[in-house]
């Protein structure tokens, strides 16, 4: 029965339950993100208690703790969270576009394209401002996305075909990167580039954060505003067209958003692996397939994932600071194998 004029239609009990669950998950995810930020900032060679971290963030801590928190650890932690958020959102969009649970920037070559463009720009244009590096990575990510679309998506985007194309593009990208790095005469610079392609937020500060934030401020809202389009595409091209989508144009727009999110993350931290795969899957289990809640949840989970992984990377083998990409790969590679086995069963 239709709702009376001037009254909102009542939600069915199942819909109300899902909405309450989604609200609870989003609230808990936000609290978890804040708690992870405070706790990880306090970890390190000079430990800072959570209460002292809060005081330092509020400008009321003692000078030594405040310096460690606000100047050394806070910008790095925020960069780590932003990188995870960008990769997670990119993964949600790619999975929605292809209707393929294995589509993620690090698996289909998008991160490799961004990484290749970033490394080439760093070596060929050593005086390139840091603020322009994400634009170079975006071009590389967009080029890789176009290759994937031409070689796999149009052919039905089966999991095996998508992964094979992604492996091919990633292998080609890393071959170019290693060739470029081998041409660098400065051994210190070359070692820094090797660390970069492993995925790291070591040494990242306010400058890198200022480079990352404007892209996220623009692209994440654009992704959220496209959630309804992703919901429509999930129904299939014919149904999406009937709902008013211009399939090819909207796919290109969404592809550009996903490439931009992955590109800026790679430009700042290198290709941190498996975040764009794990965070969307975890979020989907919590809030379902609706892309609005899925995007927000995945962004927070992806940020927390990289934040915690970076805390482990800089404390597990202290004083050695290993790349955060190593930690995410240790967790992500078995998860990918489990996912492939589950899909096979």
In tens, the pLDDT along 2-26 reads 444 444 345 465 677 778 888 888 8
d(CA 255, CA 225): 14
| HSE-up of residue 92 (Cα within 13 Å, Cβ side) | 39
Per-residue model confidence (pLDDT) at position 9: 44
Per-residue model confidence (pLDDT) at position 326: 93
Per-residue model confidence (pLDDT) at position 337: 86
Per-residue model confidence (pLDDT) at position 46: 86
Tokens representing 127 are 């005086």
Classify residue 94: in a domain, yes or no.
Answer: yes
Per-residue model confidence (pLDDT) at position 345: 65
Per-residue model confidence (pLDDT) at position 76: 95
Classify residue 49: in a domain, yes or no.
Answer: yes
CA angle, 182 then 114 then 131, to 5°? 95
Per-residue model confidence (pLDDT) at position 156: 55
Classify residue 63: in a domain, yes or no.
Answer: yes
Classify residue 2: in a domain, yes or no.
Answer: no
Per-residue model confidence (pLDDT) at position 154: 60
d(CA 7, CA 179): 66
Classify residue 310: in a domain, yes or no.
Answer: yes
Residue 271, domain extent: 15-344
Which pTM was predicted? 0.90
Per-residue model confidence (pLDDT) at position 1: 39
If DSSP codes are grouped into helix, strand and coil, which group holds residue 244? coil
Classify residue 188: in a domain, yes or no.
Answer: yes
Note if the bond before 73 is cis, omega within 30 degrees: no
d(CA 194, CA 307): 21
**91 near 277, Cβ under 8 Å?**
yes
Tokens representing 295 are 């995007």
* pLDDT beneath 70: ranges in the chain: 1-14, 153-160, 344-345
Q: What is the CATH number for 256?
A: 1.10.3470.10
Residues 6 or more apart in contact with residue 102 via CB below 8 angstroms:
159, 162, 163, 277, 336, 339, 340, 343
Per-residue model confidence (pLDDT) at position 23: 87
Classify residue 3: in a domain, yes or no.
Answer: no
What is the number of domains present in the chain? 1
Per-residue model confidence (pLDDT) at position 344: 67
Classify residue 309: in a domain, yes or no.
Answer: yes
């Amino acid at each position: 029965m239709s709702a009376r004029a001037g009254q909102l239609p009542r939600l069915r009990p199942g819909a109300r339950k899902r909405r309450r669950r989604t609200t609870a998950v989003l609230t808990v995810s936000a609290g978890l993100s804040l708690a992870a930020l405070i706790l990880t900032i306090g970890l390190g060679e000079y430990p800072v208690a959570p209460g002292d971290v809060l005081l330092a963030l509020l400008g009321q801590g003692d000078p030594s703790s405040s310096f460690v928190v606000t100047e050394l650890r806070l910008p790095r932690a925020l960069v780590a969270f932003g990188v995870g958020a960008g990769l997670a959102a990119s993964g949600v969009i790619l999975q929605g576009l292809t209707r393929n649970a294995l589509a993620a920037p690090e698996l289909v070559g998008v991160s490799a394209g961004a990484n290749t463009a970033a490394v080439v720009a760093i070596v060929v244009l050593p005086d390139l401002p840091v603020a322009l590096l994400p634009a170079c990575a975006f071009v590389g990510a967009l080029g890789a996305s176009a290759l994937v679309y031409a070689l796999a998506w149009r052919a039905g985007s089966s999991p095996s075909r998508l992964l094979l194309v992604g492996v091919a593009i990633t292998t080609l990208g890393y071959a170019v990167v290693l060739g470029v790095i081998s041409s660098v005469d400065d051994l210190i610079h070359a070692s820094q580039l090797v660390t970069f392609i492993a995925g790291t937020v070591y040494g990242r500060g306010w400058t890198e954060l200022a480079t990352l934030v404007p892209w996220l401020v623009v692209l994440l809202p654009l992704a959220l505003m496209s959630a309804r389009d992703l919901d429509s595409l999930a129904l299939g091209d014919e149904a999406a067209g009937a709902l008013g989508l211009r399939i090819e144009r909207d796919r290109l727009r969404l592809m550009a958003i996903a490439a931009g999110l992955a590109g800026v993350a790679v430009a700042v931290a290198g290709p941190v692996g498996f975040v764009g795969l794990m965070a969307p899957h975890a979020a989907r289990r919590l809030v379902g397939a609706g892309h609005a809640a899925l995007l927000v949840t995945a962004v927070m989970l992806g940020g927390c994932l990289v934040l915690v992984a970076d805390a482990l990377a800089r404390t597990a083998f202290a004083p050695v600071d290993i790349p955060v990409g190593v930690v995410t790969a240790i967790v992500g590679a078995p998860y990918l194998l489990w996912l492939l086995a589950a899909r096979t069963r």
